[in-house]
């Protein structure tokens, strides 16, 4: 026993059971290379790795094809038989083809709440469990949605540039902005994020309506089945729905026309829910009043036509990038992976049987 | 009667009674130069004039020393005996000396809610009524306060610059930001604006406290008598109080130290409530985490040291610059001036007798 207690803690544990020490505790310990760590394949590396790399690498042996000189397909072939767990992000577009090359995979852990990058049918068929991160980011995403909206209406970023360029003493008063309070806000998709957005904007005395696949009995907001009708009755559209076959280019020319010249759009969901080419034209031609965009069709590429527009505020798909949520995210990811390697139920599984 | 009804409407009215036509109706009429319009002296010209100049000039004969080649003092001497009404803004620093040169003044109409530029004792003593614009702007100012706060915490302006400079595809993920939801917010001064700020931030699940001259029985937030104590117990300070002898440099080194390294400050009240030199040093040295500043000690001059700081968002004292509020403001100003020239009670008088 005396000998055991002097051994590094991880050596007490089987290779399928990861450590349960708090990451901050671990980070302060003398680095000792653990052996027989559970193996995870990392693809489309989640940005949380850049913050919690040390903590992850003390718990897992991470296979990183993106750091290897070997081409991805070859890399996957080498590890095909052993790879049971895949760790990925919401922006990795090659997940499904990757999974097809990995016959032994039993779990995919994604740092995203959106699941449009995962072929859930394939997972269901093959018995691959999927863990995701619902709710963790809802508050952060809703906060950013409101921030982008106020920024566009009140010209905060543009005015900040005006002051920081030293123009105030020279040019005098800044342009008139648009009031937020009292505006009619249409929420496209009243999931956990949409509800958080609604809750916040109610406090600004906005009038909230929403469009969704079906009416939410618990929501008191006015419901529209048709997104065009919602746009017609809104000063502001906030896109909060998931991306799927039904919502791809849901916000098209017709919807933007219905939103109209004074209308403002905020997208914190997925780029492809809006027909981006149309949106750019509408903004360039002043056919809508402004936009706050956190997501784009071809990230990280953003239509350059938007760079010059002061009434457009752009965010680099960073709604979930807060230190606090990253800590929560890290904890949830670890708990899911630990659960998997201990043959316990996942903490936040995607309900594949529904 | 037939002749009368064909005369321009303003000729029916005495010179002390202004027109009651809606400004939008008037703006569309054939321009006919009205005579004998009531006279108002405009000093520190309110920025609303640039938007509603035509409407004002159809209702009033405006004396504008700032457009005259004659020096101000001389200009005032010429009009000293006739000037009964002064129309001014909250940023005019020479109002009190101006009033001393105008023995006949009976009313001052200011477009501001703050009254720190007006010597109310002089007005009380001389029987000068003062009309101001309480409440009209509370929602707009609170909206901007929240917008600045989200912008600082979530780095919206900085990230917007990052994307618009084309850095996203080159540099990859943006920096981690700070979560708003759940933070402890300390409101300095729980007047109408402070209350609106609190209402909004409650919806972000922030924990609100406040400091004020005295406890507000109607507010359920935790009350601190001492602003240092409030800062100690807050992640975020939002300055919403009026500027007066008690609040000049209320936010000093001690308070900033109490707020601490992780603390963020937002000022939408008056620049001189914060010791600006100290604030700049704290920001430069990373002794507080960020600031959203709408007001400054020597507007329109802003300390240039702040221009380079991404964690500082600057706004050109434009919290009330929304089209909607300008319309409301215009209406309220006109109604006050009309009331004065009709010998009726002012619509929004400053209670000088209290």
Q: Say which residues have a Cβ less than 8 Å from residue A95's Cβ, sequence separation at least 6.
A: A43, A44, A86, A88, A108, A117, A118, A119
Among B270, B276, B278, B294, which one carries the catalytic annotation? B270
Task: Please return the burial class of A205, using the count of CB atoms within 10 Å of its CB with bins 0-12, 13-18 and 19+.
Answer: middle
Chain A residues touching residue B47 (CB < 8 angstroms): 173
Rounded CA gap, B318 and B148, in Å?
A: 12
pLDDT, average across residues B23-45: 68
- Comparing alpha-carbon positions, the chain A residue that sits nearest to B142 is A204
Nearest Cα to B249, choosing from B280, B275, B230, B283?
Answer: B275
Minimal C-alpha gap between A122 and chain B (Å)? 30
Dihedral sign computed on CA atoms, order A75, A77, A83, A88: positive
pLDDT at site B2: 35
In the CATH scheme, what architecture does the domain B2-135+323-341 have?
3-Layer(aba) Sandwich (3.40)
The interface residues of chain A toward chain B in range 176-215, judged by CB-CB distance below 8 A, are 176-182, 199-200, 202-205
| CA–CA dist B160, A314 (Å, integer) | 5
CA-CA-CA-CA dihedral for A60, A61, A66, A67, to nearest 10: 120
For residues A89 and A317, the answer to whether their CB atoms sit within 8 Å is no
Answer yes or no: do A156 and B154 touch at CB < 8 A.
no
Question: In whole angstroms, what is the distance from residue B131 CA to residue B332 CA?
Answer: 9
pLDDT digits (tens, 9 = 90+) for A157-183: 999 999 999 999 999 989 999 999 999
Question: Using CB atoms and an 8 Å cut-off, which of residues 42-71 of chain A contact chain B?
Answer: 47, 50-51
pLDDT at B336 over 70: yes
The torsion region of residue B191 among left (phi > 0), alpha (psi -120 to 50) and beta comes to beta
Does A150 sit within 8 Å of B316, measured CB to CB? Answer: no
The verdict on whether B299 is a catalytic residue reads: yes
Task: Identify the CA nearest to A237 among candidates A254, A219, A268, A259.
Answer: A259
CA nearest to B194, candidates B253, B227, B165, B237: B237
Q: Where are the alpha helices (DSSP H) in chain B?
A: 2-6, 23-28, 48-59, 72-79, 95-100, 120-126, 138-154, 156-164, 168-171, 192-202, 227-232, 253-259, 276-284, 323-341
In this prediction, what percent of chain B has a pLDDT beyond 70?
90
Cα nearest neighbour of A293 on chain B: B160
Give contacts of B160 with chain A, Cβ < 8 Å.
151, 157, 313-315
Q: Smallest Cα–Cα separation from A141: which of A319, A269, A267, A324?
A: A319
Residue among B140, B162, B170, B203 with most chain A CBs within 10 A, to mutate: B203
- Min distance A169 CA to chain B CA atoms (Å): 5
Q: How far apart are CA B289 and CA B55, in angstroms?
A: 46
Best to test chain B binding among A168, A310, A323, A330 (most B CBs inside 10 Å)? A168
CA nearest to B337, candidates B328, B329, B327, B347: B347
What are the counts of helices (DSSP H) followed by strands (DSSP E) for chain A?
Answer: 14, 12
* Residues A201-232: tens digit of each pLDDT: 999 999 999 999 999 999 999 999 999 999 99
Coil, helix or strand for B171? helix
pLDDT digits (tens, 9 = 90+) for B256-293: 999 999 999 999 999 999 999 999 999 999 999 999 99
pLDDT digits (tens, 9 = 90+) for B56-115: 999 999 999 999 999 999 999 999 999 999 999 998 989 999 999 999 999 999 999 889
B255-258: long-range contacts at Cβ-Cβ below 8 A with a sequence spacing of 24 or more? B255/B227, B255/B228, B255/B231, B256/B231, B256/B282, B256/B287, B256/B288, B257/B287, B258/B228, B258/B229, B258/B231, B258/B232
Q: Give the 3-state secondary structure of residue B344.
A: coil
B309 has a chain A CB within 8 A of its CB: no
CB contact under 8 A, A146 and B146: yes
Per-domain boundaries in chain B: 2-135+323-341, 138-314
A256 sits in which H/E element: helix A253-259
Assess whether A106 carries a catalytic annotation: no
Rounded to an integer, what distance in angstroms lies between the CA atom of residue B307 and that of residue A166? 8
Residues 6 or more apart whose CB falls under 8 angstroms from that of A217 comprise: none
DSSP A43-102: ES--THHHHHHHHHHHH-EEE-GGGSSS-HHHHHHHHTTT--EEEE-TT-TTHHHHHHT-
In whole angstroms, what is the distance from residue A123 CA to residue A100 CA?
A: 10
Find out whether B148 and B294 touch, Cβ atoms under 8 Å: yes
Chain A's closest residue to B45, CA to CA, is A173
Strands (E), A157-204: 184-188
Contact A203 B205 (CB under 8 A): no
**CB contacts < 8 Å between A and B, how many?**
192
Chosen for mutation from B200, B268, B289, B330 (greatest number of chain A CBs closer than 10 Å) is: B200
Degrees, nearest 5: CA angle B334-B338-B343: 150
The owner of tokens 């009038």 is A207
Q: What is the pLDDT of residue B299?
A: 94
- Asked if the Cβ–Cβ distance from A147 to B148 is below 8 Å, we say no
Q: Across the interface, which of B51, B301, B323 has its CB nearest the CB of A178? A: B323
| Residue ranges in chain A modelled with pLDDT below 70 | 1-35, 354
Average pLDDT on B294-302 reads 97
Q: Of the candidates B159, B173, B322, which has its C-beta nearest A177's C-beta? A: B322
Number of Cβ within a 10 Å radius of residue A129? 20
> Helix (H) and strand (E) counts for chain B?
14, 12
**B111-124 pLDDT, tens per residue?**
998 899 999 999 99
Helix axes A156-164, B156-164, angle to 10 degrees: 80
Question: Residues 230..289 of B with a Cβ closer than 8 Å to A: which?
Answer: none
What's the CA gap between B77 and B101, in Å, rounded? 7
Architecture of domain A2-136+323-341 in CATH? 3-Layer(aba) Sandwich (3.40)
B124 is catalytic: no
For chain B, what is the radius of gyration of the CA atoms? 23
Q: Please tell me which residue of chain B has the smallest CA distance to A300.
A: B169
The pLDDT of residue A119: 96
Residue B324's Cβ-side half-sphere holds a number of Cα atoms within 13 Å equal to: 16
pLDDT of residue B353: 74
The answer to whether A204 contacts B162, with C-beta atoms less than 8 Å apart, is no
Q: Which of A89, A136, A143 to mutate to test the interface with B (most CBs of B within 10 A)?
A: A143
Pairwise CB contact (< 8 Å): A173 & B307:
no
Nearest-Cα distance to chain A for B160, in Å, is: 5
Q: How many CB atoms lie within 10 A of CB A249?
A: 15
Among the listed residues B67, B74, B299, B324, the single catalytic one is B299
Domain A138-314: top CATH class: alpha beta
| Cβ-Cβ contacts under 8 Å, A173 against chain B | 47, 50, 316, 318, 321
| Helix A138-154 × helix B138-154 angle, to 10° | 120
């Amino acid at each position: 026993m005396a000998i055991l207690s002097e051994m590094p803690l991880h050596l007490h544990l089987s290779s399928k059971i990861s450590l349960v020490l708090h990451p901050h505790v671990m980070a302060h310990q003398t680095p000792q290379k653990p052996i027989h760590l559970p193996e995870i394949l990392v693809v489309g590396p989640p940005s949380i790795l850049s913050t919690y790399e040390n903590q992850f690498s003390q718990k897992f042996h991470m296979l990183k094809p993106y750091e290897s000189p070997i081409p991805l397909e070859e890399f996957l072939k080498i590890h095909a038989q052993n790879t049971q767990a895949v760790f990925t992000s919401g922006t990795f577009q090659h997940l499904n083809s990757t999974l097809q090359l990995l016959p032994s995979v039993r779990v995919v852990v994604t740092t995203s709440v959106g699941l449009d990058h995962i072929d859930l049918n394939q997972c269901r068929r093959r018995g691959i469990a999927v863990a995701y991160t619902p709710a963790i980011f809802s508050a952060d995403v809703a906060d950013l949605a409101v921030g982008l909206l106020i920024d566009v209406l009140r010209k905060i970023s543009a005015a900040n540039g005006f002051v920081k360029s030293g123009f105030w003493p020279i040019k005098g008063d800044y342009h008139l902005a648009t009031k937020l309070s009292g505006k009619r806000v249409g929420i496209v998709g009243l999931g956990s994020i949409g509800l958080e957005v609604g809750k916040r904007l109610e406090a600004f005395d906005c009038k909230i309506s929403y469009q969704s696949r079906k009416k939410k009995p618990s929501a008191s907001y006015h419901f529209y089945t048709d997104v065009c009708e919602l746009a017609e009755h809104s000063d502001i559209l906030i896109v909060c729905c998931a991306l799927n076959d039904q919502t791809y280019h849901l916000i098209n020319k017709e919807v933007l026309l219905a939103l109209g010249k004074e209308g403002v759009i905020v997208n914190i969901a997925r780029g492809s829910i809006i027909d981006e080419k149309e949106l750019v034209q509408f903004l360039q031609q002043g056919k809508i009043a402004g936009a706050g965009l956190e997501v784009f069709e071809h990230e990280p590429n953003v239509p350059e036509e938007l760079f010059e527009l002061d009434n457009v505020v752009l965010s680099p798909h960073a709604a979930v990038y807060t230190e606090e949520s990253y800590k929560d995210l890290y904890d949830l990811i670890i708990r899911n992976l630990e659960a998997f390697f201990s043959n316990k139920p996942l903490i936040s599984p995607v309900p594949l049987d529904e």
